[in-house]
Amino acid sequence: MDRGRAFIGEHIALADVVTDLDPARGFLSSYARKTAADGGRLHGIRAGGTPVGGVRFRTFEADAGNCEVGCWPEPGAAGRGLVTKACRILIDRAFRERGIHRAESHASAADGKSLAVAERLGMTREGVLSESHPHRGVRQDTEIRAVLAHAWPPAPTA
């Protein structure tokens, strides 16, 4: 997080929350609890063995068939397709292995890079939650995009 704090924090609060070791432990512990309860999951993104970002199921509701995927790269990993690939793997597993029906992305309407990832994943823009959350003292619009399992591309054949 330290290598990409300014870049990551431009649109998401994680950079302002995970400021040192104790909040980082708290964040990781919250995802350990979510994973144990099958309510979310956190994965790192690596390039050449170095952590360069993360991808997560912010929410995972197996009974309802819904999940929300989120992501963040550090600056050196942006623009290399790593986030799109990691999100595609998560969503594919959710649809094919877990029977999830709907995968969503919630991103600041000002976060063009996250919106582009959702578009590359085939997500459809469903709407905007106007001024739905404060970020660094400014109310932000949240854009909702989603893809349904039946619209997800078939698995590649070997």
Number of folded domains that form the chain: 1
Q: What is the predicted pLDDT for the residue at 41? A: 94
Domain range for 122 is 2-151
Q: What is the predicted pLDDT for the residue at 43? A: 93
Q: Tell me if 157 is assigned to some domain.
A: no
Express each pLDDT in 24-61 by its tens digit: 898 889 889 999 999 999 899 988 888 888 899 999 99
pTM: 0.86
Q: How far is CA 34 from CA 10, 31, 132, 155, in A?
A: 26, 5, 24, 28
Q: Tell me if 6 is assigned to some domain.
A: yes
CATH code of the domain containing 104: 3.40.630.30
Q: Tell me if 158 is assigned to some domain.
A: no
On average, the pLDDT of the chain sits at 88
Q: Please state, as a whole number, how many other Cβ atoms lie within 10 Å of the Cβ of residue 11.
A: 20
Q: Is 111 helix (H, G, I), strand (E, B) or coil?
A: coil
Q: What is the predicted pLDDT for the residue at 5? A: 62
